[in-house]
């Protein structure tokens, strides 16, 4: 989406003749406020839902298929990335019915390695860009970072917004940076990381979600995984409400990706229940919902083996990331 197209669409949605920081501020601050206590209570209630064995089996396989298996460490090596890709393709070598994950997420310089390791599969390669995780760089640097990842073969780009600009009320700057990054993505999908742990309030999470969608995000993502709190259930609930309402207003579906701190099958099931209850079952596919995780896959495997055999396998029966 070009800058002019994105700006024109945003003007139409906002009902303004000029897209300025003032018009964005008025519109974003005119969104309904989030009932903080109500959001926490709704998330807590949804997290108590229990599911039957057959539904749990479906939930485990669905969660596996939604994982962006991730390694974003300064100590990452080519061998570690190739090992992660092998696990992404065949999570359980003893059970070929185990689904593969949705994507492998790495830094730019490992995109080519991951792309080669995943050759012949339909697993995507995602790259973090735009000065991840801080987002503190000039726009030309962020665009170059994105193009570098796309040129290396990335199918998806996970960008971070400038939280300093957002919290200072410079919404047009954030909008323009998302639009420019989206344009640099070409055919790659764009996930916009809000870093909700730094946004302070639930109202800001709602505003940032709508701002990202206005600017052309294909996905909105909670966190980098480097800041706490990361992917909480209430924050994800608010983002799911945003994409639901966006579809009602525009007819377009936007994906949601909670990332960071989701480590157990129990956690994953809570998120899937919330997706179903808040956005609807249309979002219960890897095309529209992802988990940014590394250790989650291990626990899902153990729980899957438990359902199949009636007993927990020891840790030696699953590969460790």
Q: pLDDT truncated to tens, each residue of the chain (321 aa)?
A: 677 788 999 999 999 999 999 999 999 999 999 999 999 999 999 999 878 878 999 999 999 999 999 999 999 999 999 999 999 999 999 899 999 999 999 999 999 999 999 999 999 999 999 999 999 999 999 999 999 999 999 999 999 999 999 999 999 999 999 999 999 999 999 999 999 999 999 999 999 999 999 999 999 999 999 999 999 999 999 999 999 999 999 999 999 999 999 999 999 999 999 999 999 999 999 999 999 988 999 999 999 999 988 776 665 555 555
Least Cα distance to 124 among 170, 212, 188, 172 occurs for 188
Contact 228, 258 (CB under 8 A): no
What pLDDT does 314 receive? 60
- Taking residue 75's Cβ as centre, other Cβ atoms within 10 Å add up to 6
**In terms of residues, how long is the chain?**
321
What pLDDT does 46 receive? 94
- Annotate 211-237 with b (16+ C-beta within 10 A) or e (fewer): bbbbbbbbbbbbbbbeeeebbbbbbbb
d(CA 76, CA 82): 10
What pLDDT does 299 receive? 96
Contact 50, 304 (CB under 8 A): no
CATH number of 5-309: 3.20.20.70
What pLDDT does 315 receive? 56
DSSP summary character for residue 138: -
Q: In the chain, where does DSSP find H-type helix?
A: 3-14, 21-28, 36-46, 53-65, 78-89, 111-117, 139-151, 163-167, 171-185, 202-214, 233-250, 265-278, 296-309
* Whether pTM exceeds 0.85: yes
Least Cα distance to 91 among 293, 321, 265 occurs for 321
Active site members: 158, 221, 257
d(CA 257, CA 67): 9
Written as six digits, the tokens of 284 are: 């219960």
User: For tokens 């709602």, what's the residue?
Assistant: 206
d(CA 62, CA 285): 7
- Which residues are bridge partners to 220 per DSSP? 192, 256
């Amino acid at each position: 989406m070009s800058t002019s197209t994105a700006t024109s669409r945003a003007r139409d949605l906002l009902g303004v003749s000029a897209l300025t920081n003032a018009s964005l501020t008025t519109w974003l601050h005119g969104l309904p406020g989030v009932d903080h206590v109500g959001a926490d209570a709704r998330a807590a209630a949804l997290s108590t839902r229990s599911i039957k064995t057959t539904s749990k089996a479906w939930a485990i396989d669905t969660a596996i298929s939604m994982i962006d298996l991730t390694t974003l460490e300064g100590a990452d090596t080519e061998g570690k990335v190739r090992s992660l890709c092998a696990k992404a393709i065949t999570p359980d070598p003893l059970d070929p019915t185990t689904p593969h994950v949705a994507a492998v997420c790495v830094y730019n310089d490992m995109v080519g390695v991951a792309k080669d390791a995943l050759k012949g599969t339909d697993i995507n390669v995602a790259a973090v860009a735009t000065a991840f995780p801080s987002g503190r760089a000039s726009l030309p640097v962020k665009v170059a970072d994105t193009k570098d990842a796309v040129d290396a073969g990335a199918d998806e780009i996970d960008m971070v917004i400038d939280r300093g600009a957002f919290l200072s009320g410079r919404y047009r700057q954030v909008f323009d940076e998302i639009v420019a990054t989206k344009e640099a993505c070409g055919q790659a999908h764009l996930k916009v990381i809000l870093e909700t742990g730094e946004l302070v309030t639930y109202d800001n999470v709602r505003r940032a979600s709508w701002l990202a969608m206005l600017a052309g995000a294909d996905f909105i993502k909670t966190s980098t995984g480097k800041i706490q709190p990361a992917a909480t259930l209430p924050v994800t609930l608010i983002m799911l409400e945003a994409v639901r309402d966006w579809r009602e207003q525009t007819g377009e579906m936007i994906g949601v990706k909670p990332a960071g701190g989701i480590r157990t099958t129990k956690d994953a099931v809570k998120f899937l229940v919330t997706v179903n209850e808040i956005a609807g079952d249309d979002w219960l596919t890897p095309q529209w919902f992802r988990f940014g995780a590394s250790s989650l896959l291990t626990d899902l495997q153990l729980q899957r083996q438990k359902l199949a055999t009636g007993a927990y396998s020891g840790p030696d029966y699953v590969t460790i990331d």
